Structure 1
Amino acid sequence: MRTVFVIIGLCCSLAFANLASAQPKTLTIALGAEPDSGFDPIYGWGKYNNPLFQSSLIKRGSKLNLTPDLALSWTLSKDKLSWNIKVREDVLFSDGSRLTAEDIKFTFDTAKAAVTVHDLTNLSNVIITSKSSLLFELKHPDINFIDNFINLAIVPAHSYNSHYGQMPIGTGPFELVRWDKGQQLIVKVNPYYYEQKPFFEKLIIVFSDEDSRYSRLVAGQLDLAAIAPRYAQALPADFKLWSLESVDNRGISWPMVDVQNTDIGNGVTSQFAIRQAIDRVINRDVLVHQLLDGHATAAYSIADGLPWGPVELPTPMSPDKQLSGAIEILEQSGWQLIDGIRQKQGLKASMTLYYLAGDSIREQLALTVAQMVKPLGIEIHPRGESWENIYKHMHNQPVLFGFGSHSSSEVRFVHHSQYRGMDYYNAGYYANAELDAVLDSAQHAASWQESLPYWRHAQALIRQDLPWTWLVNLRHLYAANRCLDLAEPGVEPHGHGWPLANNISQWRWTCQ
């Protein structure tokens, strides 16, 4: 009997092992665009998502709560001028070398010295106080400086160079095996990862446009893909739609400077009446329910529904009242209808609206906005281009941008005059001295709670000027094999990067 028991137990164990091994350990996915500058956190990789190959000091949980990553603790001094960070001592890079406080100091010093999307101008000094602790000294109180501990992942001081982004070494859950540019990325689990290792040992990350992603999905070549709303109702039978809440919005940035030269300024969009009339006539209900099939909500700011967003949103009007009110605004401001186009002092209300080519949502929004403003006598010519070409025109023509962050600091970056012409932030060169002062007060507040009234006041001032016409807040849509459980994805930020990967270590295959 004892021998029989052992044999049966062995058989059962083998059967269980065979079932477990039947679950795929490789996942083929397509989450979005290929990062132009590679996988270097210094230049923005990982700011909107889990950097995969690297780790940050702090990370956000699914409920946007702050949790430890490389940092075990973080403490702000009473005068709000320094952060004391204690870090883990058991962390190895993917090349087997040990992470030290020197790597953290090197990362922040390098990012501060470079021109990047990380705003470290308020960082005075990083001091290593022991082998496992650092002091970050600030020039003045900054309630949002902690965002840098989340958004800037750590690179190795011993091997970082100008080519780092092509073959990164880090402390994240995965390491890069091969990058076939324009085609795919192959990654495997980092054997030295210090936390729970991902269930999937290998990822094949495919780069393709929206149509190709859907075609590959139908052909069974993908386990998971980000999809556009137009494909949500036509998924293969063995796929499930994941519709995730986000703070990812789409809006039009208006050049705010009256014409100064051919590069900066626009005599039409700098006129408040033009911006006000366009904002008034946009039917966001049509954008949400007809254009995007309900996979969005109406947007009126960069931070709708967030603690630092506007307290009150505009009350929607009937389409007839929207149109008549917008026409009245234009006529009272001297914009007369001549041969079907509004004109004032020799200026024609005509402009080009740039959007990212290949992005169907931006294209549809741009085309629909052009049709919505046409009855006003305002002429908008939608034009899809690469970001490289858009960058050349975004200071003198409107652009359909996407923004949306887990941090209130984005309100400052997009609207403060300090960031005029810096990266893609304040592309319209918007400047309002009163607003700048309020945003500065929010940044320098003694606590997060004390900063909120300033952020909300800032939203009201922005709404008075309308430097942007916000259109929609998107829901992020993913088609996943029904056997793939994505656990509990959090509220996602803007889609640059791959925000779905934030909880990648929790993904599981549920079928045998």
Structure 2
Amino acid sequence: MPTRSLLPTATVLVTASLLLAGCAGSTDPAAETAGSSGPVDGGGLAFAIANDPISLNPSGTGSGNDTLYVTRQLVDSLLYQNPDTLELEPWLATGYEANGDATAFTFTLRDDVTFSDGSPFTAEDVKGTFDDIVAAGASSQAVSSFVGYDETVVVDEHTVEVRFTTPNAAFPNATASVGLGIVGAATREVPYDERGDGSALVGTGPFTLEDYTKDVETVLTARDDYTWAPDALGNAGAAHLDSVTFRVVPEASVRTGGLESGEFDVIGGVQPNDVSIVEGAGLPLVSRANPGVTFGLSFNLAHPVVADIAVREAVASAVDAETVRDTSLNDLFAVATSALATNTPSFADQSAYFSYDPEHAEELLEDAGWEEGSDGIREKDGERLSLDLVWITNFGPNQTSLELIQQQLKEVGIEVELSGSTVPDFVARQDAGDFDIAWGNSSRADGDILRTSFSAATTRFAVDDPELEDLLQAQLAAADAATRDDLLAQAQERIASQYYQVPVHELTSILGTQDAVHGLSLGADSRLDSLVAVWKDAE
């Protein structure tokens, strides 16, 4: 796909009018479905999700997509990334100015925004939020966006400058994420690790938290004074809905059944094998391929067995990704050909490194000294070629995919033990280095996600590769889009040639809805967008 510049190549003021010019042909979800009578105000939305939000602290750790579905409604971001154009557009900021070497970004802010507690939104809140994330360190999932952070300076009440000691060209894009959503002073006064239940959350979003019952539901109530949604969403005023209730329904079949019966207005995480059921019931689907790091196998290089590139390449040659996709998923999901998904800016195809060739896998293992044992599993110096693979149980096809991969690897003499768990347990295993292979993905519409996944400073995979590190840091310093694309293409090739990750399939986010629901959309990261423009037909 065409790549787009998300950062000025020189010191240029990006005003609201200039930013918005990029979305002239973009989709207006509300306008498409409103019909002649226009949207209906009122009513509540029952939204079934698979997992408890875990933490309602927008920048906290241990959260997954379902968490971000909820927190996106409570906090706004400085900029909005249009999912149709991938351009950055105004939100809390009317525009930004970048200096020539991408070490300073000056944001001009709206002067008509308030937090849910009535306090005005100012430059102090931007500084406070960013300083808060950096101070939280590893407790924040958003801290990786602040590499080289120096300080945030309040220029005046509605102007703020974010300064870095080293170039950070990806920062403007990062400000569009939920993790960098702005929180009020009342939130920041509460210790960071005590904000998980959301009771301290004060945001500028179109909804506020009414009630959170762990593992049961999260209830949000609309603000009546909200008037600053991104233009691309099609409703700059208060939300049409009165309330949204996110209900935790772990079983995919129960979510699908609840949609068919009318118990739920929207369900998240529609499984591939349920797509035909939803379509057969005549109910609409909303889907979007996820940008970012593809679903694949990433290796813990701190463990000697998989630190051997021959073993990693053998795994890559033994995995038949197309069969995995066809068996576990459907045509809405693409076979992956790189660490980045095809709709990620700076994607570069690396399929030449990932041909299914089990005979080559066996040759690699033989040459590396792994000889076939009595039960078919290879051994070397008395050690069995047995690998521990960790994965998250929040996406149904994961188990089917991994059981098939397990069988494919067994055919070449590699034993795999599958260890499925919840998101917090998965993260804890990774943090402890207690795994050989991790199965997962990460969604973000910026190639810089390779840095957060594979840089020595942030990786959970013990990658220590100076050549790759130079590329990842250089792309962060490149203000020119074409230069950045080239560097990220080189980084993808380095990751592929060293088999740090074996890409298997891309993710597609799928929601199911009732016919009566209108204006529902997925954002640039393919997670649930703001619900400010969503409405339901009058009953």
TM category, shorter:
0.7 to 0.9
CA distance in 1, matches of 2:153, 2:438: 42
Q: How does 1:48-63 map to 2 (within 5 A)?
A: 51-63=72-84
Contact 2:290 2:341 (8 Å CA) reproduced: no
1:336 maps to: 371
Counterpart of 2:513, as a letter, is A
Q: Flag structure 2 segments of 5+ consecutive residues without an equivalent.
A: 1-36, 229-235
Alignment partner of 1:381 is 2:417: yes
What is the CA distance between 1:274 and its match in structure 2? 1.7
3-state secondary structure, aligned to 1:343: strand
CA distance in 1, matches of 2:419, 2:209: 36
TM-score, structure 2 length as denominator? 0.81
CA distance in 2, matches of 1:51, 1:156: 15
What is the CA distance between 1:503 and its match in structure 2? 4.3
CA distance in 1, matches of 2:358, 2:79: 48
**Higher mean C-alpha deviation, range 306-315 or range 406-415:** 306-315
Counterpart of 1:55, as a letter, is D
3-state secondary structure, aligned to 1:453: helix
1:100 maps to: 122
What is the CA distance between 1:304 and its match in structure 2? 3.0
Alignment partner of 1:277 is 2:314: yes
2:299 maps to: 254
What is the CA distance between 1:275 and its match in structure 2? 1.3
CA distance in 2, matches of 1:22, 1:192: 17
CA distance in 1, matches of 2:290, 2:420: 24
Residue from 351, 355, 360 that aligns with 1:313:
351
Residue from 122, 141, 160 that aligns with 1:117:
141
Q: How does 1:94-493 map to 2 (within 5 A)?
A: 94-115=116-137, 116-118=140-142, 119=144, 120-151=146-177, 152-160=180-188, 161-162=190-191, 163-165=194-196, 166-167=198-199, 168-195=201-228, 196=236, 197-209=238-250, 210-226=252-268, 227-235=270-278, 237-247=281-291, 249-257=294-302, 265=303, 267-305=304-342, 306-314=344-352, 317=355, 322-339=357-374, 340-394=376-430, 395=433, 396-419=435-458, 426-486=459-519, 489-493=522-526
2:52 maps to: 34
3-state secondary structure, aligned to 1:204: strand
What is the CA distance between 1:511 and its match in structure 2? 7.0
CA distance in 2, matches of 1:92, 1:253: 43
Residue from 501, 504, 507 that aligns with 2:531:
504
CA distance in 2, matches of 1:72, 1:298: 39
CA distance in 2, matches of 1:274, 1:459: 20
CA offsets, 1:143-175, max 9 Å, x none?
112234222011111453134442222111111
CA distance in 1, matches of 2:244, 2:452: 34
CA distance in 2, matches of 1:204, 1:48: 14
Percent identity of paired positions between Structure 1 and Structure 2: 20
Contact 2:47 2:264 (8 Å CA) reproduced: yes
CA distance in 2, matches of 1:180, 1:293: 35
CA distance in 1, matches of 2:117, 2:382: 65
CA distance in 2, matches of 1:200, 1:214: 23
**Higher mean C-alpha deviation, range 100-109 or range 72-81:** 72-81
Counterpart of 1:399, as a letter, is A
Contact 2:337 2:350 (8 Å CA) reproduced: no
Contact 2:147 2:168 (8 Å CA) reproduced: no
CA distance in 2, matches of 1:229, 1:40: 29
Contact 1:353 1:366 (8 Å CA) reproduced: no
Contact 1:255 1:269 (8 Å CA) reproduced: yes
3-state secondary structure, aligned to 1:376: coil
CA distance in 2, matches of 1:378, 1:72: 55
Contact 1:112 1:121 (8 Å CA) reproduced: no
Counterpart of 1:256, as a letter, is L
Counterpart of 1:310, as a letter, is A
TM-score, structure 1 length as denominator? 0.85
What is the CA distance between 1:373 and its match in structure 2? 1.1
Contact 1:435 1:461 (8 Å CA) reproduced: yes
Alignment partner of 1:66 is 2:94: no
Give aligned pairs, total: 471
Change in CA separation of 1:412 and 1:108 when aligned onto 2, cut-off 3 Å: same
CA distance in 1, matches of 2:352, 2:427: 31
CA distance in 2, matches of 1:490, 1:460: 28
Change in CA separation of 1:386 and 1:31 when aligned onto 2, cut-off 3 Å: closer
Structure with max Cα Rg: 1
Counterpart of 2:487, as a letter, is Y
RMSD: 2.5
CA distance in 2, matches of 1:22, 1:138: 46
3-state secondary structure, aligned to 2:330: coil
1:3 maps to: none
What is the CA distance between 1:328 and its match in structure 2? 1.8
What is the CA distance between 1:316 and its match in structure 2? 6.8
What is the CA distance between 1:80 and its match in structure 2? 3.1
Q: Flag structure 1 segments of 5+ consecutive residues without an equivalent.
A: 1-18, 258-264, 420-425, 494-498
3-state secondary structure, aligned to 2:398: helix
3-state secondary structure, aligned to 1:314: helix
**Higher mean C-alpha deviation, range 296-305 or range 63-72:** 296-305
CA distance in 2, matches of 1:30, 1:111: 30
CA offsets, 1:338-377, max 9 Å, x none?
2111112222111222222353122112111101111101
Counterpart of 2:46, as a letter, is T
Contact 2:46 2:247 (8 Å CA) reproduced: yes
**Higher mean C-alpha deviation, range 179-188 or range 147-156:** 147-156
Change in CA separation of 1:418 and 1:41 when aligned onto 2, cut-off 3 Å: closer
